[in-house]
Amino acid sequence: MKSQDETLDDWCRALLQALELEDVQIDIDEVLGLAGVAAHSIVRPAAPLTTFIAGFAAGLASGSGQATDSVSMQAAMEVARKLAKEYAAAEAPGA
């Protein structure tokens, strides 16, 4: 029986291949970490929405030549992570 990590690695490879993105490197732990921040800072459904939007923004930045794939993804994820934490702080009782 495969572990959860092995299953996620296999799924990520299969999805990248199906989307013809075999050369793209994905830091699964980083993506899941961002999803966790969004889920706990905002509401649970914010997790997939946040990671999708960050990925979309990174793709646009990379595709337009603004930055490399890696730099685009790191920048988009950092913006999303920072905004989620700020959102949570602003929404906290007494804020």
Tens-level pLDDT at each residue, the chain (95 residues): 999 999 999 999 999 999 999 998 899 999 999 999 999 999 999 999 999 999 999 999 999 999 999 999 999 999 999 999 999 999 877 76
pTM for this entry: 0.88
What pLDDT shows up at residue 26? 92
What pLDDT shows up at residue 92? 78
User: CB of 14 within 8 A of CB of 6?
Assistant: no
Q: Concatenate the DSSP letters of all residues of the chain into one string.
A: ---HHHHHHHHHHHHHHHTT-TT----HHHHHHHHHHHHHHT-TTHHHHHHHHHHHHHHHHHHTTSS-HHHHHHHHHHHHHHHHHHHHHHHSTT-
